[in-house]
Amino acid sequence: MTNDTIGVDISKDHLDAHRMSDGKSQRFDNDKAGHSAFIGWLGLPGARIVYEPTGPYHRAFERRLSDAGFALVKVNPRQARRFAEATGKLAKTDRMDAAMLARMGALLEMEARPVRSLLLNDLKDLHTAREALVKNRTAARNRAKTLNLPILKRHNGERLRQIERQ
């Protein structure tokens, strides 16, 4: 059972958190020390943590809080924006985003879900990297058909060989 809802806006360098029960907000670094400070600010597990995934920046946070026993609610960014629009509170700052996420989690009583395994995260990263290589290879092959300068042809050929090796 959760007794409080915490909204967290995650960025590369910071976590902006807002606690519904007392309306307090706090900023933490998005690193191991910051995650520990955040857990200390929360106290004992029991709070529902509501956040939007932000590329790779949420993963270490997610793993650490899950390992500490907190209930995590990952919100689709589009859903969060629609909630903000519906409540007339489009956020202008990270702190306001965190408060909006906390409100959303509390009002909608969103269910926590287990965190995806590290292996699945790694597989997703590998798949994304492969897709990027395939896209780059296609672009280089298409570019090769239009190049006239020998130096550009050579450079493009080297790039294609590099992509193929990867």
Task: Report DSSP letters for 33-70, one per residue.
Answer: HHHHHHHHHH-SS-EEEEE---GGGGHHHHHHHHHTT-
Q: Same domain, yes or no, for 61 and 143?
A: no
In a domain, residue 113? The reply is no
Q: Same domain, yes or no, for 95 and 27?
A: yes
How many domains are there within the chain?
A: 2
Q: Same domain, yes or no, for 143 and 69?
A: no
- Taking residues 110-127, report their average pLDDT: 82
* Residue-level pLDDT at 1: 42
**Span 40-84, pLDDT tens digits:** 999 877 889 999 988 888 989 999 998 898 999 999 989 888 998
In a domain, residue 51? The reply is yes
Asked if pLDDT for residue 118 goes beyond 80, the answer is no
In this prediction, residue 141 has a pLDDT band, given cuts at 50, 70 and 90, of very high
Compute CA distances 160 → 147, 152, 164, whole Å.
Answer: 14, 12, 6
Of 22-26, 56-60, 155-159, which range is least confident?
56-60
- Taking residues 23-46, report their average pLDDT: 92
Q: Same domain, yes or no, for 104 and 126?
A: no
Q: Same domain, yes or no, for 95 and 153?
A: no
Q: Same domain, yes or no, for 45 and 122?
A: no
* Residue-level pLDDT at 46: 82
Q: Same domain, yes or no, for 136 and 78?
A: no
Domain extent, residue 62, equals: 4-108
Task: Give the CATH number of the domain where residue 74 resides.
Answer: 3.30.420.40
CB 114 within 8 A of CB 29: no
* Residue-level pLDDT at 91: 66
For residue 67, give both structure tokens.
Answer: 């390992």
Q: Same domain, yes or no, for 95 and 23?
A: yes
Supply φ then ψ for residue 34, to 5 degrees.
-65, -40
Q: Same domain, yes or no, for 9 and 73?
A: yes
Q: Same domain, yes or no, for 73 and 128?
A: no
In a domain, residue 82? The reply is yes
Report the distance separating Cα 155 and Cα 53, nearest Å: 38
Q: Same domain, yes or no, for 147 and 74?
A: no
* Residue-level pLDDT at 111: 80
Report the distance separating Cα 126 and Cα 163, nearest Å: 15
Q: Same domain, yes or no, for 68 and 132?
A: no
Chosen domain end from 108, 134, 149: 108
Query: Do strands 25-29 and 47-51 pair parallel, antiparallel, or not at all (unpaired)?
Result: unpaired
